Structure 1
Amino acid sequence: MLPEIEVIAVDTHDWNSDEFSDGTSMTADPGWISSGDCRAFAAPHGCVYFAGADHSLQWTGWMEGAVRSGLVAAARVHEDLANAAP
């Protein structure tokens, strides 16, 4: 794409061997969507709101999903706090 650029180094990470990641990106089990289980984290559980790539209902497992999920969760927190104010 940029023929005038010279690549002098590339860095990568072995996520499958990473002791903290326990593998690579999220892979949904069969039936995760059709059973409705995918919506388990869509609503808050008490005062706990979930956001992240693995909990996103769009672009699940991708950075775009994490951003969208974060925006949705932040909007819900904002709305719930506004409605709870005296």
Structure 2
Amino acid sequence: MNIDPQKPLLQLNVGEFLDLLKNSATEKKYEYGLKGLAKMLGCSRSKASVIKSTGILDEAIVQNGNLIIIDKDKALQLLAQNKK
């Protein structure tokens, strides 16, 4: 559905509003912690920890103490490059 950008927001019907929300929603780009890494990879936390410790994902992971932030796109790209 094409919505006129000049149309006031209050004049949108429900369908137009839902389309606008659907098109503006973006996928979450980060996962947090080993639990998030495990969810992203579809494995257990212990396996995620083993994968993290290999260093393959170092470019995609920022860690400060116990806080771990994983860039999903970069991590998947690095895993694809390092297939075994």
Instruction: Provide TM-score, normalisation by structure 1.
Output: 0.28
Structure scoring higher RCO (CA < 8 A, sep ≥ 6) equals 2
Instruction: Provide TM-score, normalisation by structure 2.
Output: 0.29
Of Structure 1 and Structure 2, the greater helix share is in 2
